[in-house]
Amino acid sequence: MNPAITSSTPLLACLASLAAVLPILLLRKSPNLRESATFVAGFIKFGLVVSMLPTILGGTQIEYTLWQILPNLSIAFRVDGLGMLFGLVASSLWILTSLYTIGYMRGLKEHSQTRFVAFFAVSLSATIGVAFSANLFTLYLFYEMLSLATYPLVTHHQDKEARTGGRTYLSYLLSTSIGFVLPAMIFVFLKTGSSMEFAEGGFLAGHVSGKEALILLLLFTFGFAKSGLMPFHSWLPAAMVAPTPVSALLHAVAVVKVGVFCVIRVFTGVFGLEFLKTMDIATIIAWAAAFTIVVSSLIALTQDNLKRRLAFSTIGQLSYIILGVALLSDRAVIGSMAHIAMHAVGKITLFMCAGAIFVASGKKYISQMDGLGKKMPITFAAFTIGSLSVIGLPPTGGLISKFYLVTGAMDAGQTALLIVFLVSTMLNAAYLLPIGYRAFFPKDPELARQPFSWKNTEEASLPCVLPLCITAGLALVLFIKPQFLLNLAGLMVGHGG
Amino acid sequence: MTEQAPILILLFPFLTAIFVALLGAKVPAASWPLTIASLGASICATLTTLIQVLENGTIRYYVGGWAPPFGIELRIDGLNALVAVTVATVAFLGAIYSKDRVESETENKGPQYYALYLLLAAGLLGIVITGDAFNLYVLLEIAALTSYALLAMGNKRATLAAFKYLIMGTIGASFYLLGVGYLYIKTGSLNMVDIQEQLIANGLQDSSTVQVAFIMITVGLWVKMAFFPLHAWLPNSYAFGPTTSSSIMAPLVTKVMIYVMVRMVLTVFGPVYAFEVLDWGNIVVWLAVIAILAGSIGALAQKDLRKMLTFLIIAEVGYMVGGVWLVDETGMTGAIYHIISDAFMTLCVFLFAGIVFAKTGARDIYAVDGLFKKMPITMIGFIVGAFSLIGIPPTAGFFSKWYLIQGGINSGNWEYVIALLISSLVNAVLFFRIIEIAYFGKKPAEGHIHHHGDDHTKISEAPITQLIPLLGTAAIILLIGIFNKDLVAVIQDFLEPFNLVAGIR
Amino acid sequence: MVAIEALADKFNYWVYIVIMMIGLYAMVSKNNLIKKLIGMSVFQTAIILFYVSIGYKDEATIPILYHDQVHGAHHAEEGDHSDEGAHHDETHAMEAIAKEATHHGNDHAVDADHAEVDEHEADHVIDAHVMHNESDHAFEAGHGGLDIDPNQFENPLVHVLMLTAIVVGVATLGVGLAITQKLYGEFGTIEEHEIIEQLRTGND
């Protein structure tokens, strides 16, 4: 057991954005003040998270028990390496997304911006809550909160399409969490009689039989449907009706990552890797993930709507993370955790670019983007960097996590799954790279002959473009300096990476 | 004064009812303040009693100083102290809501309405605190008769429904009375605790007379609580009665009947008899499963908002009957906890339905069209109630399910667990359908709407006398969710002597 | 023969059940609302009959104590507190009758097979009640000082209960009739199917 100190910082970090809801609502009459409230909360939140980083890297965990809600069971927070990693990703990207939101929402003159910003803040609280949960119960609580708080965001347009999308979104997420996770959690609670605190090496070993363990594992893995594992993935493309900032932060970072985060938590904190190894039940999950990777990549190839293509790409990438952890080898698990961050940075860049393209040119379909790179060079440059990161090519952070995943697969001796990684990487390249390439080197000779000039560029406004440049930059930085992420992930498997 | 608290619980509403009936003809305006004052006083009395019970254990109050088993005894332990507080609070909140609505829904009948309302509250409170089986029957009928009258005040459909309810209610109560008669034959006593002592002392466990008594009492109560398939009277009467009447009856009547069932099973017959000698627990759990599913399916088929909610009551009754017959301490805890939480949840959604009806005059679920913009505060109250019925933490409804599902798993009744989960999902569908309509409007635009800046749709909230009870209920739902540990501690203290953990079955 | 004996022995049960079923039939299947209410009254009367019959004892009389039966014994013993004492004794005498009067011949379940078992149980009950009241010294003293035999009196308690039940029944009938009247005012008929027909055709 790691040494731990008690501090209310995790709680405060979680509440920082929730507390911002009130000023946001009060300041609804003046958008500038309202946005500054968001930023203040964002920086406070990020500051609180970062302030815990040295302690965590030093191998100490931070605990805080808020309220004992049931006999034996409390709402409690604990920050460890994995939680820290996810918390960092989510809180830092929130600031950038908030900036981006201003550009996007005002650019399109969207309605009900106050509601949007307020629920955005609530969602972030839920995300950090998930990241810092100390036990399964707290995790579930914030997981549900996130599903509900994001519903108004997904359905923001309040039109027919949004209604259909919102229906799919909620019905998938709620039915799986109530139908699968809740009974599984209660069963675990009954079997172990414990407080369900996540522990290194899990707490389930010795309490359940092999068959029960398998059923529980399936219920948990598929129940956290936010991870987009097939066949419970349809909500993700459906949720793309949301305004792009939502897609960017929530559906490339917060919501989906909460899904895989929960799965990793269950694997490492509830079952424990050793227990899973002895039971030999994770293989079925690994194959489900492998199936998802290949199929979603193939579907992505056929999509013309940029956001939908990105959505299917996300489904595949999420399954990388699940596959990594299901391989049960230390390196693969580290790779999984690192991939949370790497993919987040890459994918948010792509989504922001998609939004920026829509704001500036009104174009949603890839086939319309021929030669657009000449009008929006910065955006498409960032898009290309993001693509590289998602595919896992140098010089981007994506390479690092992929490297760990692939070597992890070799450690685990799963040659077949290794091939899945390689094939899917090629598929990734096939559906992402042509977008950037065609934008700069259009097929149409007419367009190709047009000379490039900075004067002709029609970029989106600065609040739109700046954040995506920063995230693209981050993707590059993470290639050079991935060590602290790997250290955080390494804490979870018992050594420093 | 405090030692008289148990009887005061009952006397406040009862005497005020008479007073309101007499005074009402002359000063109708005084009815409402009097009602509120007496129910408020009743809440204080229940709280005092609850505190006494928590400090000193069970209270035995001899009415008129006549000692049991012959005098009537009010016997208050942890279980009915909690239920009494719930009943008094719900009645109080419902009375606040009635203020504006009574005149518009039941014209010129204000004083009569309040007199009946108070009598109903007195009857229900009496059922909860009495320790005498025959006395319970009389109070049962007081509550029932006032209910018929309160419902018949509604529109045409409600009048017919009230008549059907009267027939069914009388059958139910008569069965109960017969059962008590059989018990009396065997034990020579009408005092609940005394009956239990006689049953044990005389080894009457195998007596077929007692068996008949048990079956008759249980079936009678099932009719009264609308346990599927004996539920036919419920949907129309609660859906078409005045919203004021249904806001007290829907939350309380069925729940109080479930309390009576728990009391009969635990205190009168004793768990050993109810669960072991008469081994039909599994059948009852299956019946409960059917009730839950039938209620949920029935609710799905409804377009009328309140009628949909009435089918949910039927499903919830299934939850609790099933929870009791799981024969597991956690399941029983869940059932009892659910009596309390469901009373408030039901109140919350029925108040919402009443407010919507008051605002729009429409009954169907499309009446909520665009309400998020028009009545944001009302919607917040409703969402809390809806989330609780779906079972989303940290509302009270989540924790009821938490305990009930645990009970189901503990006792190996997986069919019950699955039924609960299905019903939760159905509730999610039902309520999100409403939330969707309230959020998107009846016909959302095909395309993408771009309003310029934030809209300024006119907010027109419900009057404060309707908002206060709604938000109060919502707050209570959250509070009993967050503080469920303390509530459950009281319930488990009460259950401890029954030793259900040992797994009788 | 055993069956017939059992039938004859417990004819009061059979009678009440038959009457009750007649009432139930009318309540459930009659179309006319007034007939339903009549059925309800029959139904309730059956229950009253049941209760009263279980208080019956062969060759017993109405449970009214004569003045000397109660007071005679007491004046000697208690002097000053005679009023209070008498009050107590009266109660306890009544109680004694109520308790013991419930048995003897009428306490069997509908199920004839258990007749013997029940007889056995009945004895137990009486024993138990004596034991139950042993701690109650006032009762013992009072009982000892009284010149009464519970078997001479019918059980008064059931009559008291039924007085209450009759009141309840009358009240229910009253409400039922009032509702019927309201229905007649609204629909112009008291035939249920006609009312439902009117509701269905939607002149709500």
Domain definitions of chain C by residue range: 1-55+155-204
Asked if A158 lies within 8 A of B485 by C-beta distance, the reply is no
Size of interface B-C (CB pairs under 8 A): 129
Residue span of the structural domain in which B364 resides = 279-445+457-505
Tell me, yes or no, whether B375 lies in a domain.
Answer: yes
**CA Rg, chain A, in Å?**
21
* Percent of chain A scoring above 70 in pLDDT: 98
C37-46 residue pLDDT tens:
999 999 999 9
User: Nearest Cα to A474, choosing from A41, A94, A89?
Assistant: A89
Taking contacts as CB-CB distances below 8 angstroms, the residues of chain B near C94 are: 70
Tell me, yes or no, whether B332 lies in a domain.
Answer: yes
A224-237 residue pLDDT tens:
988 888 888 888 88
Q: Tell me how far apart the alpha carbons of residues C82 and C86 are, in angstroms, rounded to a whole number.
A: 6
Tell me, yes or no, whether B295 lies in a domain.
Answer: yes
Conformational region of residue A396, where left means phi above 0, alpha means psi within -120 to 50, and beta covers everything else? beta
Q: Which of C24, C51, C183 comes nearest B181 by C-beta?
A: C51
* Residue A100 pLDDT: 84
Q: What is the mean pLDDT of residues A244-248?
A: 81
Q: Interhelix angle for C11-29 vs C2-9, to 10°?
A: 70
Q: Which residue of A has its CA nearest to B394?
A: A141
- Length of chain B (residues): 505
Instruction: Measure in Å the smallest separation between the Cα of C11 and chain B Cα atoms.
Output: 16
Query: Mean pLDDT, 10 residues at a time, over chain B (505 residues)?
Result: 81 89 83 89 91 87 79 87 92 89 77 90 92 90 91 84 90 92 86 86 81 90 88 85 87 92 88 77 88 91 88 92 87 92 93 87 79 84 91 88 88 88 90 85 56 55 85 92 87 83 50
Tokens of A160: 């027919």
Mean pLDDT of chain C: 69
Does the pLDDT at position C100 exceed 80?
no
Taking contacts as CB-CB distances below 8 angstroms, the residues of chain C near B137 are: 165, 168
Tell me, yes or no, whether A141 lies in a domain.
Answer: no
Taking contacts as CB-CB distances below 8 angstroms, the residues of chain B near C128 are: 198, 201-202
Tell me, yes or no, whether A288 lies in a domain.
Answer: yes
Residue to test with chain B: of C41, C114, C168, C183, most B Cβ within 10 A: C168
Taking contacts as CB-CB distances below 8 angstroms, the residues of chain B near A175 are: 425, 428
Quote the number of domains for chain A.
1
- Topology of the domain comprising C1-55+155-204: Helix Hairpins (1.10.287)
Asked if A186 lies within 8 A of B484 by C-beta distance, the reply is no
* Percent of chain C scoring above 90 in pLDDT: 15
DSSP-derived secondary structure for B26-72: T-GGGHHHHHHHHHHHHHHHHHHHHHHHHHH--EEEEGGGPPTTTS-
Taking contacts as CB-CB distances below 8 angstroms, the residues of chain C near B163 are: 33, 36, 176, 179-180, 183
Residue span of the structural domain in which A495 resides = 282-497
Q: Which residue of C has its CA nearest to B194?
A: C132
A3-51 residue pLDDT tens:
788 888 888 888 888 888 888 888 888 888 888 888 888 888 889 888 8
Q: Which residue of B has its CA nearest to C117?
A: B207
Tell me, yes or no, whether A403 lies in a domain.
Answer: yes
Taking contacts as CB-CB distances below 8 angstroms, the residues of chain B near A28 are: 454
Quote the number of domains for chain B.
1
Chains B and C touch (3+ CB pairs under 8 A): yes
Q: What is the mean pLDDT of residues A88-117?
A: 82
User: Nearest Cα to C13, choosing from C127, C98, C118?
Assistant: C118
Residue to test with chain A: of B333, B421, B483, most A Cβ within 10 A: B421
Asked if B441 lies within 8 A of A140 by C-beta distance, the reply is no
User: Among A211-225, A361-375, A472-486, C180-194, whose mean pLDDT is lowest?
Assistant: A361-375
> Angle at CA A355, nearest 5°, toward A351 and A356?
115
Instruction: Measure in Å the smallest separation between the Cα of B223 and chain C Cα atoms.
Output: 14
Does the pLDDT at position C132 exceed 50?
no
Q: How confident is the model at residue C103 (pLDDT cuts 50, 70, 90)?
A: very low
Size of interface A-B (CB pairs under 8 A): 104
Q: How confident is the model at residue C69 (pLDDT cuts 50, 70, 90)?
A: low
Does the pLDDT at position A101 exceed 50?
yes
Judged by a CB distance cut-off of 8 A, whether residue C124 touches chain B is: yes
Instruction: Measure in Å the smallest separation between the Cα of A75 and chain B Cα atoms.
Output: 10
Q: What is the mean pLDDT of residues A314-337?
A: 88
Give the single-character DSSP code of B76: E
Instruction: Measure in Å the smallest separation between the Cα of B154 and chain A Cα atoms.
Output: 36
CA dist list (Å): C101 to A269, C140, C152: 69, 18, 9
Judged by a CB distance cut-off of 8 A, whether residue B160 touches chain C is: yes
Tell me, yes or no, whether B248 lies in a domain.
Answer: no
* Residue A246 pLDDT: 82
* Residue C77 pLDDT: 44
A176-208 residue pLDDT tens:
988 899 888 888 888 887 778 888 777 887 788
Q: How confident is the model at residue C137 (pLDDT cuts 50, 70, 90)?
A: very low
User: Nearest Cα to A37, choosing from A20, A17, A49?
Assistant: A20
Q: Which residue of A has its CA nearest to B426?
A: A175
Q: Which of A114, A158, A171 comes nearest B439 by C-beta?
A: A158
Q: What is the mean pLDDT of residues A337-349?
A: 89
Tell me, yes or no, whether B423 lies in a domain.
Answer: yes
**CA Rg, chain B, in Å?**
22
Taking contacts as CB-CB distances below 8 angstroms, the residues of chain A near B409 are: 183, 186-187, 190
Chains B and A touch (3+ CB pairs under 8 A): yes
